[in-house]
Amino acid sequence: MLISLCKPFRRLQISGVEIRLRELGRRLDINKVHPHKFRRTLATRAIDKGMPIEQVQVLLGHQKIDTTLQYAMVDQRNVRNSHRRYIA
């Protein structure tokens, strides 16, 4: 859980995360910084590194596995390596 940096210490809302990321992007001269890109990257990297899709589903808070599968762009090399490791 994220909290605000100022009193009263309340839960940080999504808009607060977006605002902070946009400001950080401006400071670094990076356009189009969005929290959703971080979320998508997290899911993709986790799956590429071998994290089970069910765990990624829980991490992202998805009710249905189909939603998680839409987030993840699976690296085909990883599929090949997993096939060799677990099946071949």
Give tens-digit pLDDT for 10-37.
776 778 788 888 888 899 998 888 888 8
Please check the confidence at residue 53 and state whether its pLDDT lies above 80.
Answer: yes
Between 12 and 41, residue with greater pLDDT: 41
Ranges of each domain in the chain? 14-86
| DSSP conformation letters of 13-79 | PHHHHHHHHHHHHHHTT-S---HHHHHHHHHHHHHHTT--HHHHHHHHT-SSHHHHHHH----HHHH
Predicted confidence (pLDDT) at residue 64 exceeds the cutoff of 80: yes
| Chain segment 75-84, per-residue pLDDT in tens | 667 677 777 8
